Amino acid sequence: METKTMKPFPDNFLWGSSTAAFQCEGAAHEDGKGNSVMDVRVQDPSICNYEVAADHYHHYKEDIALMKECGLKAYRFSIAWTRIFPEGNGEVNQRGVDFYNNVINECIASGITPIITLYHFEYPQGLVEQYGGWLDRRSIEDYVNYCTFCFKTYGDRVKYWLTVNEQDHVNHMPFRIGFKSTSVLEDEKKGYLANHNMCVAAAYAIKACHEIVEGGKIGPAVCFDMHYPTSNKPEDGLAWLDSMDLRNYYVLDMNVKGKYNPVFKRYLEDRDMMPEIHEGDMEAMKTNKPDFIGFNYYASKSISAFPADEEHPIGDLKIKLLPAEEPGAYKIVKNNNLTATLWGWEIDNIGLECVSRILYDRYELPLLITECGFGNKETPDENGYVEDDDRIDYLSKHILSVKKAMNVGVEFIGFCSWSFMDIVSGHSGFSKRYGFVRVNREEHDLKDLARSKKKSFYWYKETIACNGENIK
Ligand code: BG6
């Protein structure tokens, strides 16, 4: 809806930026850190691993000084669980504990609100080896113990917490849960068992946060792409409803409403993938609701009907990274109305406005954008300067969509871009860059890891300084 006037961003809006430990810290085997599933992941050799990353572990002071110079109000980062508990449970590693104390203190001294993700893909390999990790109920207790330790140790200074990053992406990627893929159906079945245990664990972590952290606020950080029906054919509309239930709503419905939405439940039962629900599980979710919804937004998807037939029977899943199509449910097709990044992610800021309104309507909780950003290949000039106008364009349009959603009543806590400095991309190594700050390294050549400010750094600084007045 258009309005005659536009509401400004509130004064306390958290202008932020994000990273994740395994993608930025490096020091993968330093100071007692244990292995996570990301460390042992078998990588495509053309892409770098996480050993050094952006070396934030050794550059954190410099990086936070740059955040301060940029005027960031918030820095969202994750704790590497295995720096604190190298095996995932048992002995605490004090050097890991100290590192995050230092990062938090540095943020606070710089006037930056820390927002901590407790679990961003880096599941402890030790727990996988002890009992199969998320596939076992013991995972719930270990996660809650780890979170409780973090709340007790850092909760005097950290008031914003995120339980699980992109749970849907964990569920569908066996390597992120720590098991070897067998058949897609078996993998999916295990993924939904892990999903259930994660939701129960998150509920008890929310409880612990509320009990331990004075004034603490906690929520999930889901991935929530906008989905559209490809056409006005009723079949596409129905497929769109299915994709929203099966890909977008199911985690949040468990987190916020404490229930399996009916379509998701029927889907799991019909495909023989329904996990066992133990007494008290759903009650724990229902009574321990998040305080806000954190979500990552990058792109939208166009959804078409995909009726099952002899050639494509129900259950014939062909998953590469995520279920992109499923006979009898939906498929994702190219949206010819949008342009895309070099990696085919369709750029759609209006989708962010739609998602914001959908989430706020359905869950009635304030929203925090935990990631939003533009990945690109970049060539700097001789001073390390990058003219990343595409990134500025992407971010300013997406922030405008936040402003428009806010203008019609959606409540936001803040906006965290992905990412503050260049870090290792989740799937594409160091050649896919997202930062306001360039890190001088290439895929396999570490160079000097020097930091330099890109054009977008100055643009974001100006945006924060005028509290988004320049976003029109
Ligand atoms: C999200 C993740 O999926 O998207 C991040 O939370 C990830 O860890 C980001 O880096 C962008 O994805 P990619 O593959 O471009 O790095």
3-class secondary structure for the chain?
Answer: CCCCCCCCCCCCCEEEEECCHHHHCCCCCCCCCCCECCCCCCCCCCCCCCCCCCCHHHHHHHHHHHHHHHCCCEEEEECCHHHHCCCCCCCCCHHHHHHHHHHHHHHHHCCCEEEEECCCCCCEHHHHHHHCHHHCCHHHHHHHHHHHHHHHHHCCCCCEEEEEECHHHHHCCHHHHCCCCCCHHHHHHHHHHHHHHHHHHHHHHHHHHHHHCCCCEEEEEEECCEEEECCCCHHHHHHHHHHHHHHHHHHHHHHHHCCCCHHHHHHHHHCCCCCCCCCCHHHHHHHCCCCCEEEECCCEEEEECCCCCCCCCCCCCCCCCCCCEECCCEEEECCCCCCECCCCCECCHHHHHHHHHHHHHHHCCCEEEEECCCCECCCCCCCCCCCCHHHHHHHHHHHHHHHHHHHCCCCEEEEEEECCECCCECCCECCCECCCEEECCCCCCCCCCCEEECHHHHHHHHHHHCCCCCCC
What pLDDT, on the 0 to 100 scale, is given for residue 33? 98
Residue nearest to atom 9 of ligand 1 (CA): 426
Cut 0.95: pTM above it: yes
What pLDDT, on the 0 to 100 scale, is given for residue 42? 82
Query: What atom in ligand 1 is closest to the CA of residue 424?
Result: 16
49 CA from centroid of ligand 1 (Å): 15
What pLDDT, on the 0 to 100 scale, is given for residue 322? 62
Q: Which residues does the annotation mark as catalytic?
A: 166, 371
Residue nearest to atom 15 of ligand 1 (CA): 425
**Ligand 1: does its nearest atom lie under 6 Å from the Cβ of 378?**
no
The 10s digit of each residue's pLDDT in 164-214 is: 999 999 999 899 999 888 888 889 999 999 999 999 999 999 999 999 999
Kindly give the parts of the chain with pLDDT less than 50.
Answer: none
What pLDDT, on the 0 to 100 scale, is given for residue 353? 98
What pLDDT, on the 0 to 100 scale, is given for residue 184? 83
What pLDDT, on the 0 to 100 scale, is given for residue 182? 86
Query: What atom in ligand 1 is closest to the CA of residue 20?
Result: 8
Pocket test for ligand 1, best of 118, 167, 371 (most atoms within 8 A of CB): 371
What pLDDT, on the 0 to 100 scale, is given for residue 295? 98
**Ligand 1: does its nearest atom lie under 6 Å from the Cβ of 227?**
no
